[in-house]
Amino acid sequence: MPIDLTDPEDAKLVTLARATRARAHTTQGAAVRDTDGRTYSAVDVSLPSLRLTALQVAVAMAVSSGVGGLEAAVVVSDSEVVAADDVAAVRDFAGGEVTIFRADSLGAVLGSVTT
């Protein structure tokens, strides 16, 4: 059963992650909100020399902006779980407890994990 997001800023992350995924025609989309309220959306990277999940890219974008941490994250994927490496990337940078929402390609939030 889908989870209703009560925070409109969390719903915005789902929209951003879905749109980024659709635009790039990739298997994953992700979005994060930093502690200053800025958002970053990304897709998975699959090059011969570099492989990153969408959430890892979004976290790297936030890190490179100089912000101090994260408030929330969303992964849009057909996967039934949030990958352990994704949880670790968010935990390493978040600066506190963060919920990572998992949504399908239609935007239904099907689960979450807290770092």
Helix (H, G, I), strand (E, B) or coil at 109: strand
Please give the Cα distance from 29 to 101 (Å, whole number): 12
Domain annotation covers residue 85: yes
Domain annotation covers residue 28: yes
Q: How many helices (H) and strands (E) does the chain have?
A: 3, 7
pLDDT in tens, 62-107: 999 999 999 999 999 999 999 999 999 999 999 889 999 999 999 9
Please give the Cα distance from 25 to 72 (Å, whole number): 24
pLDDT in tens, 22-67: 999 999 999 999 999 999 999 999 999 999 999 999 999 999 999 9
Residue 98 sits in a domain of what CATH number?
A: 3.40.140.10
Supply the pTM of this predicted model: 0.93
Name 87's Cβ contacts closer than 8 Å, sequence gap at least 6.
100, 113, 115
Domain of residue 56 covers 8-114
* Structural domains of the chain, count: 1
